[in-house]
Amino acid sequence: MLSLLIKTVSIPIVLFIAIYIWEQVHYEAIWQPVVIVLILITSGLFLEAIILKRKRLWVSVCLDFIATFLILYIISNMFEGSFISLIASIVIAVILVIPEYFLHRFLIKKE
């Protein structure tokens, strides 16, 4: 439950801040980043369920980074009229993986 709460707060905040302050991130309609946020939350919870059972912190953090980057870069650029640059995707993925590291560390120690 804690994981869902942290993802539900951190992902939209980071993505919407990036949209408004960075010219390399553009969505044509408001539903497009909402879809991206939902995909990121779902994939993050799925990866945690699979990887954290084995208590592998760095594997889970690296997979979160890769998944976040790919979802941001590929799916965002599939939307008509929307784009995100390669660098912006990497930077946003790095920013999002920082709270994930601490969350995963906490979840592993808690078990």
Domain extent listing, the chain: 2-110
So what's the pLDDT on residue 2?
A: 83
Angle at 63 between CA 62 and CA 68, to 5 degrees: 100
Residue 17 has which token pair? Answer: 């801040």
Rounded to a whole number of angstroms, the distance between the first and last alpha carbons of the chain is 14
What's phi and psi for 71, nearest 5 deg? Answer: -65, -45
| Residues 80-108 pLDDT 10s | 999 999 999 999 999 999 999 998 888 88
